[in-house]
Structure 1
Amino acid sequence: MAAYNFRFSARLCTHISSLGRISQSIPNPSRTSPLRSWPDAGCGRGYAAIGGSTPNEQPHANAPEIIESLSAQTPTATSEAATLGASETGAAETLEATTSTSITETLAPAASTRASSSIPTTSPTSIPPFNSTPTPAPLPPTPAKGPARRDGFVPRDVFPVPASITTSYFLGHHKAGLDRMKELVGQVELIIECRDYRVPLSSRNPLFEETLQGKQRMIVYTKRDLAQRVLDDNTRKIMTKWHYPHTVAFSDTSNPKDIAFIVNHAKKVARDHDSLTGTRMLIVGMPNVGKSTLLNALRRVGTGNSTKAAITGGQPGITRKIGGTVKITGQDDPLVYVIDSPGVFVPYMSNGQTMLKLALVGSIKDSLIPIITLADFLLFHINRNNPGLYKDYCPPTNDVMTWLKAVARKTGKLVKGGEEDYEAAAIWLVGRYRKGMLGRFMLDEVKEGGYQEWLEGEGKAGESVTQARKRIKKERIEAGRKRNMETALPSPEQSSHNIPWSVTMYS
């Protein structure tokens, strides 16, 4: 009987394990993990599948009734086997069949009720098979490497300079002013050379270094507020190294601190010279770089007199001759007088890019460069800095005509018939950039060693007036000699007997 009870217990555990596998095939929405496969490993794991004693498993809702029914069926099956008086093997087989049928009939209604009440309808193919491996969740997509440009827009890398662009703007009053500067060199103690901060390299005039050499110099980068609202420390350090040992200042005429720095340096120079008649200083620079505006600011900050001492304007050529002396210090300070001068351009500009930059900032007259070309050059630099500056008019584009058409439509710059006035739109855009209303950026690249690279790349841009004249004269003489040689020499088809008699007579 003890052996019979042992066999009965083993068979019962086997059936309970089988029922666990049947229960496992029914999806349970309360589980957060995928369905797990239960190996046929004995009574303990099978009971866990029914009663939910395994960690992180929710027990079946009808598990207590199932277990109670199993307990009630066990003595019934035992009494039936004893009454029949069969052998241990036959009794075990009969008991196994009866117990399996009773347990299946008891669990089937509970399983069907649970499936119909709490399990959503699922196709058979969505239920994973027994001992199947759960499918891993898909990995997130790998982000693209490198920053992508907005809307796929790519600005131009190079701006082609038209071959017909003007290469000179050296006028008569430029030469007269330069000659007068040579006469005043011996009477001044400090040269204040103004350069446009937006074009710190292009606004350099090599004539000043040749004519005014040997004098103490101060480089003042004007219109700093039109390129940067706040002066960048790295840019300041690089540009200061360019001109060592000369003093470098950065000027925003609306900022009293910038002007006071220049005035204090002038006072220091005056104290060093200690002249009874006062110290004189000369302001020089390219046309329309802000020399007269700086002179008025120096007088306003140094003396408190806000009356303009020099006429200013937005176009080059306002000052056409050397002006008188203007006092820029107070009564208790050393006497410092500043002399204004006309802007002087270089005689010859071989670099077309430099010419376009100076035209864009207003250093030459707008009539010398086609305004559409100037607007296209402005669009080129805007796209390289921030194409979003004109987002209110049109999407980013490299086509200047598309840009001008959209601007003309938005601003109402139309001609008779409702057609777009492209030139009026171009003039309006260039004017807004010059006022700092269409982006604040520099046209020249500022970097370590950039000043020397620019000097080496300019080539003929640094030649003086005399050198330019000599070069042009030499080119004309060489061209004349070449023409004479072509007309004097016989052609290859001519034979020796066709040589003119005047040549053979003296041979």
Structure 2
Amino acid sequence: MALARLQMPPLPVPPSWFPGHMMKFTRMLPSLLTRTDVVLEIRDSRLPLTSINRTLEGALKKWRTERGWDPHNPGRRILKTQACEHIVVLNKRDLVPEWGMEPFRRVMLTKFPEQRLLFASWHRPRDIRTLSEMLVNIAKEHPHALELNVLVIGMPNVGKSTLLNALRNMGIKGRTPKALQTSANPGMTRAMSTRLKLSINPLVYAYDSPGVMLPFLGRGAEGTERGVKLALIAGIKEGLYDMEALAAYLLYRLNVLNPISPAYLHILPPNAAPVLDLQEFLPLLARRMGMIKRGGEMDLPRAAEYFVRWWREEGGLIAASEAQALLQAPGGLLAPGEALSQLKYPSGIQGWGFDFEWEVRPEDIPGVGLDMIIQGKMERCINDYMIKAEREERAEGNMSDTQKKKLMVQEEKMKRKMKHLRRSL
């Protein structure tokens, strides 16, 4: 397949989805943090950058400063009288290839030294045990405290409630019923949960919180792509995006993740070749799945919906495992110093998850360890993300035009109120 011709499809303008319960939690967060010892932020491993909620970062920065962390050196703590830790869990780790996890972790450690980073999946007891031990050890570091309070935050549908249920089952011996309701649709948790006990000795409690979407997804190419990514992981309310638009982007991404044998070949007719164009892909899929209307017309909208749901339910696992196999040497996983030039690694556009994309030319870098190449590529992607995020904050204030108008109306009302008070004095 000629990856040079692979281009991102046109994407729709991102919709606005920021229900009242999300705004309510955002306003409550500063007061909640006054009685919080650990912030457990859950992100999606497929979108390790897009699932960062920048709306909450200001409150977290103030909380850390008040608890003794140096505002000018995020990795240095001046006072340590009270627990204050920010743990970032990249959930659903089984949906991304293993080879990118350690390079990503190393880059994030240098960029965000104040955060503890952990890849996890509730399917893997070892991950849940590691996270449980992290929380217990933090509690033991502060024996004077009667209990450790953990606040769980994150975007919608990143798996906060499911992970908390797994932590509870790991930390409390004996049979424990599922304490929190879960759903595949975003917005199931709409209010703060009651305290959920995660450990008895020492005492560790957790609060689940509503998933909070970005109030404004942004303008331009970054905003449109951000919205489609979040919709693909079901992080945005169903129906706000056309399924064919999601299918087009998904087709593009699966071709980037594995240009040789994309995961969608499992649901196409036998011996099918990789496909670049959605208008060519959907008829093939509809024919294979028997999605035919009266008169023999292919049901393309139904095929698009099937494609997206297949990826959410099983295709993501297939894509991750096959992208992992793409970077395996005959003797197993690559050793840290193994050279890229020793492998039959395809040149061209490559990626990891849906947030990372880079170009690789094996002939340009003989003798360089593959893991270091990947780390360098990831570092550039993260730097680009941080620059774009800062630029968006300065240019837009993280608000849509509608939100700006509402703010102007509120400010005008406040001016009139103050003017009336001055006259009455």
Question: Quick one: which of 454, 465, 483 aligns to 2:385?
Answer: 454
- 2:229 partner amino acid: K
Map 1:142-221 to 2 at 5 A. Answer: 149=1, 154-162=4-12, 165-213=13-61, 214-215=63-64, 216-221=85-90
| 1:297 matched residue in structure 2 | 166
Q: Number of aligned residue pairs: give it.
A: 323
Please give the secondary structure, in 2, of the residue aligned with 1:358: helix
Please give the secondary structure, in 2, of the residue aligned with 1:170: coil
Q: Aligned pair in 2 of structure 1 residues 464, 262: CA closer, same or farther (>3 Å)?
A: farther
| 1:367 matched residue in structure 2 | 239
| 1:386 matched residue in structure 2 | 258
Q: Aligned pair in 2 of structure 1 residues 315, 464: CA closer, same or farther (>3 Å)?
A: farther
Q: Aligned pair in 2 of structure 1 residues 474, 336: CA closer, same or farther (>3 Å)?
A: closer
Say if 2:214 is the partner of 1:346.
yes
| 1:127 matched residue in structure 2 | none
| 1:377 matched residue in structure 2 | 249
Take 1:416 and 1:398, find their aligned partners in 2: how far apart are those partners?
Answer: 28
Say if 2:297 is the partner of 1:419.
yes
Please give the secondary structure, in 2, of the residue aligned with 1:323: coil
CA contact (8 A) 2:191 2:209 kept: yes
| Residue-by-residue CA offset, 1:296-349 (whole Å, 9 max, x unaligned) | 1111111144421111111101111000111111x4x20000100000011111
Take 1:160 and 1:414, find their aligned partners in 2: how far apart are those partners?
Answer: 27
Take 1:282 and 1:230, find their aligned partners in 2: how far apart are those partners?
Answer: 30
| 1:245 matched residue in structure 2 | 114
Percent identical among aligned pairs is 30
Take 2:60 and 2:402, find their aligned partners in 1: how far apart are those partners?
Answer: 21
**Structure 1 gap segments, 5+ residues each:** 1-148, 477-507
CA contact (8 A) 2:8 2:249 kept: no
| 2:364 matched residue in structure 1 | none
Take 1:240 and 1:434, find their aligned partners in 2: how far apart are those partners?
Answer: 30
Please give the secondary structure, in 2, of the residue aligned with 1:327: strand
| 2:202 matched residue in structure 1 | 334
Take 2:408 and 2:227, find their aligned partners in 1: how far apart are those partners?
Answer: 23
Take 2:400 and 2:286, find their aligned partners in 1: how far apart are those partners?
Answer: 45
* Aligned-residue RMSD, C-alpha: 2.7
| 1:396 matched residue in structure 2 | 274
1:231 Cα deviation from its structure 2 partner = 6.4
Q: Aligned pair in 2 of structure 1 residues 153, 271: CA closer, same or farther (>3 Å)?
A: closer
* TM-score, with structure 2 as normaliser: 0.70
CA contact (8 A) 1:153 1:397 kept: no
Question: Quick one: which of 344, 350, 353 aligns to 1:442?
Answer: 353
**Structure 2 gap segments, 5+ residues each:** 65-84, 321-351, 357-376, 410-425
CA contact (8 A) 2:190 2:210 kept: yes
* TM-score, with structure 1 as normaliser: 0.59
CA contact (8 A) 1:252 1:259 kept: yes
| 2:372 matched residue in structure 1 | none
Take 1:155 and 1:366, find their aligned partners in 2: how far apart are those partners?
Answer: 31
1:194 Cα deviation from its structure 2 partner = 0.8
Take 1:429 and 1:461, find their aligned partners in 2: how far apart are those partners?
Answer: 35
| 1:406 matched residue in structure 2 | 284
Map 1:274-293 to 2 at 5 A. Answer: 274=143, 277-293=146-162
Q: Aligned pair in 2 of structure 1 residues 168, 452: CA closer, same or farther (>3 Å)?
A: farther
1:155 Cα deviation from its structure 2 partner = 4.5
Take 1:307 and 1:230, find their aligned partners in 2: how far apart are those partners?
Answer: 35
Please give the secondary structure, in 2, of the residue aligned with 1:288: coil
Please give the secondary structure, in 1, of the residue aligned with 2:40: strand
| 2:95 matched residue in structure 1 | 226
RCO higher in structure (CA 8 A, sep ≥6): 2
Specify the structure having the higher radius of gyration (Cα). Answer: 1
CA contact (8 A) 2:217 2:227 kept: yes
CA contact (8 A) 1:347 1:465 kept: yes
| 1:20 matched residue in structure 2 | none
| Residue-by-residue CA offset, 1:353-401 (whole Å, 9 max, x unaligned) | 1111111111102311111000000011112222522333343222212
Report the structure, 1 or 2, having the larger strand content: 2
